[in-house]
Amino acid sequence: MGHRVLNEQKQAETTDTSGRSQSSEKASRLSELACAIGFLTRLPPALRAGHPPLARCVWAFPVAGALVGGIGALVALAGVLLGLPALATGFLAVGSMIIATGALHEDGLSDTADGMGAFTRERALEIMRDSRIGTYGALTLIVMTGLRASAISGIVSVSGAPEAGRLIAIAGALVAAAALGRASCGLVLASLDPARKDGLGAQCGRPGPAALAVAFGFSAALAFVFLPVGVALCGILAGLVPVLWLIRSARRRLGGQTGDIVGAASVLCETTALLAFAALL
């Protein structure tokens, strides 16, 4: 009888420990999700002191991206339903996404463009740390913003599909491209050492393979759910091409990554994916 009571007590303790472990794991994942949203967007919850290491939050980066893409999709769909010109709809959608992120990635893109024009590694890093924008940075922002708006205008102009299917394709393209762009941030962090000992790139750390797999798996799932398989696959592959080029260039020119490189990767990936979607839809 005594052994039976002891066994029941041990089972109860094991169950209680397992329950606490699962609850702690769930709390950790929610904390990482909140950290990713607070870091990559201006949406609540705001990033707080004592947040988890950013490398652990990489799996949730595409979720934050999907939220930003969702805002752009709502604006694009509103433009379609209101009968606005396609190009105006594209610019409004891009503008809404930039506001949602506080132009975080665009800032990184412009600094990267300015820095990559320097002749030495030291000068490049110095320029990228300077808050002022140069000619290369300004022109790159204009071109990339115009390309994104143009791509979205092409997507909203897609014809030959039922209205419901057209609206789903528009929303899916924007959400999937934005998610993929944020997943590419993790790829840069995983592929390169920090170019500086301080700064955002050094603070982020290096994400593990599991976090990276979840990030790209989630992004790919969004693309395949809302878009034709061939279109989704081509968009994903196209989006990765400039990111791989940027990783190679940053390794050769800077010896690693900075926060600006990470932000630039997001914009390059998202823009190229949108262009591919626009060409194939």
CA-CA-CA-CA torsion sign (124, 103, 151, 69) = positive
d(CA 9, CA 240) in angstroms, rounded, equals 54
d(CA 105, CA 52) in angstroms, rounded, equals 21
In this prediction, residue 16 carries a pLDDT of 52
In this prediction, residue 131 carries a pLDDT of 85
d(CA 69, CA 62) in angstroms, rounded, equals 10
- Residues composing the chain: 281
In this prediction, residue 278 carries a pLDDT of 96
pTM of the model: 0.90
In this prediction, residue 6 carries a pLDDT of 44
Ramachandran region of residue 48, left (φ > 0), alpha (ψ -120 to 50) or beta?
A: beta
What are the angstrom distances between the C-alpha of 202 and each of 50, 60, 192? Answer: 17, 19, 10
Report residue 159: phi and psi, to 5°. Answer: -120, 170
In this prediction, residue 184 carries a pLDDT of 98
Provide the residue ranges of all domains of the chain, joining segments of one domain with +: 54-280
In this prediction, the residues of the chain whose per-residue pLDDT falls under 50 are 2, 5-6, 12, 14-15
Core vs surface per residue 105-134: b (16+ CB within 10 A) or e: bbbbbbbbbbbbebeeeeebbebbeeeeeb
Decide: residue 55, CB within 10 A, 0-12 exposed, 13-18 middle, 19+ buried.
middle
Q: Decide if 148 contacts 271 (C-beta within 8 A).
A: yes
